[in-house]
């Protein structure tokens, strides 16, 4: 019930696949969040005229940060099916907590400047990350 046979003949546990998909959801939701943010009225105009988005100056360092925020969930999606159980479990719990904290910081901003789409996207990312942590924590009982 908790194991799935992959095409290579090795057995992948169900919780690892669920966590991997949730990390992919996080990455896609982040990209959608960034895309929707650029569609806000005046956002492109502000970017073209000032080189800023949301009051932040676009610098190489900021772009590197954005790249890291996108690549970490994608990397975690792979590691979730590749790592051994104890390492996998703790990596998902720790990185999941870090990303939940980052999303709560974004949520505070979304609440101070009310935006339904922003709040929805952030809450969906927090829910996915909470499920990552839940499945990782629950997996220790299945080992």
pLDDT tens-digit map of 107-126 = 988 788 778 899 999 999 99
* The token pair that represents 72 in the structure block: 């970490």
Residue 130: how many other CB atoms lie within 10 Å: 14
Nearest to 79 by CA among 138, 36, 39, 132: 132
Q: How far is residue 135 CA from its own chain's centroid?
A: 15
CA contacts within 13 A on the Cβ side of 110: 17
Nearest-angstrom CA–CA distance, 120 and 107: 9
Nearest-angstrom CA–CA distance, 143 and 127: 25
Q: Per mean pLDDT, which range of 1-10, 52-61, 70-79 is the poorest?
A: 1-10
Instruction: Tell the residue number behind the tokens 């492109």, with chain if given.
Output: 44
Q: Is 4 helix (H, G, I), strand (E, B) or coil?
A: strand
User: Would the pLDDT of 12 be above 70?
Assistant: no
Model pLDDT, residue 1: 45
* The token pair that represents 53 in the structure block: 């988005």
User: CB-based contacts of 100: which residues, under 8 Å, 6+ apart?
Assistant: 126, 129, 130, 133
- Over the chain, what is the mean pLDDT? 87
Instruction: Tell the residue number behind the tokens 């800023």, with chain if given.
Output: 52
Model pLDDT, residue 7: 47
User: Would the pLDDT of 2 be above 60?
Assistant: no
Tell me the average pLDDT across 72-96: 95
In which band, very low, low, confident or very high, does the pLDDT at 9 lie, cut at 50, 70 and 90? very low
pTM: 0.84
Nearest-angstrom CA–CA distance, 82 and 16: 9
In which band, very low, low, confident or very high, does the pLDDT at 3 lie, cut at 50, 70 and 90? low
């Amino acid at each position: 019930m908790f194991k799935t046979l992959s095409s290579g003949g090795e057995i992948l546990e169900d919780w690892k696949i669920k966590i991997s998909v949730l990390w992919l959801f996080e990455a896609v939701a982040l990209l959608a969040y960034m895309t929707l943010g650029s569609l806000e009225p005046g956002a492109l105009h502000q970017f073209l005229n000032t080189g800023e988005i949301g009051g932040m100056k676009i610098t190489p360092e900021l772009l590197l940060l954005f790249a890291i925020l996108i690549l970490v969930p994608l990397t975690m999606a792979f590691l979730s099916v590749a790592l051994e159980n104890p390492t996998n479990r703790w990596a998902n719990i720790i990185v999941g907590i870090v990303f939940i904290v980052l999303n709560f910081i974004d949520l505070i901003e979304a609440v101070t400047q009310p935006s339904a789409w922003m709040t929805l996207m952030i809450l969906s990312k927090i829910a996915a990350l909470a499920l990552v942590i839940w499945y990782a924590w629950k997996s220790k009982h299945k080992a």
